[in-house]
Amino acid sequence: MKLKTQKTAAKRVRRTGTGRLRIRHAYKSHLLTRKGSRRLRRLRAPGRVSASDRKQLARLVPPTSRG
């Protein structure tokens, strides 16, 4: 059976080259002038997926076949 990607999850989660999951931080879309530069700099880095969510997200966004 063919694995299909959940498109709503694929818009929010990206896989790295090694297969790990990357997410975008919250609180980075608007009202940025009142947030500190250190806070914005830390929000710029890709977020990590918690261990409790990793299994479920990995099922929604299966790894692509390379080759």
Domain range enclosing 33: 7-60
Evaluate whether residue 65 is within a structural domain: no
pTM of the model: 0.70
Domain-located, residue 2: no
How many angstroms separate the CA atoms of 47 and 57, rounded?
A: 14
Per-residue model confidence as pLDDT tens digits over 9-62:
889 998 888 888 999 999 999 999 999 999 999 999 999 898 999 999 989 988
Residue 65 has pLDDT above 70, yes or no: no
44 lies in some domain? yes
- Residue 67 pLDDT exceeds 80: no
Is residue 24 one of the residues assigned to a domain?
yes
CATH number of the domain to which 29 belongs: 4.10.410.60
Q: Is residue 66, in this structure, part of any structural domain at all?
A: no
3-state secondary structure the chain: CCCCCCHHHHCCEEECCCCCEEECCCCCCCCCCCCCHHHHHHHHCCEECCHHHHHHHHHHCCCCCCC
- The tally of domains found in the chain comes to 1
Confidence (pLDDT) at 3: 82
Determine, yes or no, domain membership for 1. no
